[in-house]
Structure 1
Amino acid sequence: MRKYLKCLLLYGIGGLLYIAPELAWRGHSHWTMFVLGGICFVLIGAINEVIPWCMPIWKQTLIGTVLITSMEFLTGCIVNLWLGWGIWDYSEFPINVLGQICLLYILLWVPVALAAIVLDDWLRFWMFREARPHYCLIKHKRRCKTWI
């Protein structure tokens, strides 16, 4: 039960953090963005649950960026193309796929993914007494060179 509550709390934090920049920038968001943000945050948090801590942080960030981009594309295909809700359309942006993802936003997801990885790890440490986060810049045989 505690595991589900932890997941639900992290989901809620991720959802709120996902819509916050949109609310600040545009003054509005859509409820599906809260759902998407929560899912992305939980998935990114699972990176260190599945992959050893010794994986370099840049690789974790790349995985997180791919996760967010994939979820954005899937959600866009459902809510924009299939349901026709028109929540976003990146057709005007160069290098886009069906107007649901584009290169500019993929690049913007890189720092977001990094921040989500670090935030999730520290929240787990502070709130749930999980292992203290540590990160590797490079993997060298069995040892890591840490920077945090």
Structure 2
Amino acid sequence: MEKLKEYAAVCTVGSVGYSAIEVLWRGFTHWTMALTGGVGFLLLYLTDLRMTGRSMLQKCAAGSLVLTAVEFVAGCIINRGCRLGVWDYSRRKGNLLGQICPLYSALWFLLCIPVLPLSRALRERLCQGGSGRRIETA
């Protein structure tokens, strides 16, 4: 039950955070991006946990791959399957089905620089029991 609460909190932070970033970047967002942001942040959170001891460069590269994969899957469902047209990268160089492109993969890498330390700080906060002792996260 503790893991479920932890993961729900992480998803909520990712959902709100990504929606805010998108509003700042594009001027608007879509409700599906809140879901996608929550899933993406949870996967980044877990990636950071699994990569303890690795360099920030390695973690950002892994984070970029994870977020690009989330964007591709979400795009295939949201844009292609449901035909909602939330985003379209088909005019971007190197795009795959208009859902992902190298430019945004590079931006995901850069976004990981501040987000991964946020993930660690959130984990530290969430993994403190009421008594102040650490709760296992793995």
Q: Calculate the TM-score normalised by the size of structure 2.
A: 0.86
How far apart are residue 121 of structure 1 and its match? Answer: 0.3
Q: CA deviation at 1:113?
A: 1.9
Once residues 96 and 48 of structure 2 are traced to their aligned partners in structure 1, the CA distance between those partners, rounded to angstroms, is 30
The one-letter code sitting in structure 2 at the alignment partner of 1:64 is: G
Q: How does 1:14-29 map to 2 (within 5 A)?
A: 14-29=14-29
TM-aligned CA deviation for residue 35 of structure 1: 0.7
The residue identity in structure 1 corresponding to 2:100 is: I
The count of residues paired between Structure 1 and Structure 2 equals 130
Separation in 2, partners of 1:45, 1:64: 9
Residue in structure 1 matched with residue 98 of structure 2 by the alignment: 99
Amino acid in structure 1 at the alignment position of 2:77: I
Runs (4+) of structure 1 moved beyond 4 Å?
Answer: none
- Between structures 1 and 2, the one with greater helix share: 2
- Structure number having the greater strand percentage: 1
What are the within-5 Å matches in structure 2 for residues 2-81 of structure 1?
2-51=2-51, 53-81=52-80
What is the alpha-carbon distance in structure 1 between the residues aligned to residue 35 and residue 108 of structure 2?
17
CA apart distance, 1:127: 3.9
TM-score by length of 1: 0.81
Q: Could you list the per-position Cα deviations for residues 126-148 of structure 1 after superposition, in whole angstroms to 9, with x for gaps in the alignment?
A: 343359xxxxxxxxxxxxxxxxx
Query: Kindly, what percent of the aligned residue pairs are identical?
Result: 33
Deviation sequence 1:41-71 (CA, Å, 0-9, x none): 11111124333x2111211111110000001
> Contact 1:64–1:114 at 8 Å: present in 2 too?
no
**Deviation at residue 88 of structure 1 after TM alignment:** 0.5
SS of equivalent to 1:20:
helix
- The amino acid across from 1:47 in the alignment is T
Instruction: Give 2:85's aligned residue.
Output: 86
Does the 8 Å CA contact 2:44/2:116 hold for their aligned counterparts?
A: yes
Q: What letter corresponds to residue 82 of structure 1 in structure 2?
A: G
Q: Distance in 2 between matches of 1:81 and 1:13?
A: 27
Letter of the structure 2 residue corresponding to residue 69 of structure 1 = T
| 1:27 Cα deviation after fit | 2.9
SS in 2 for 1:3: helix
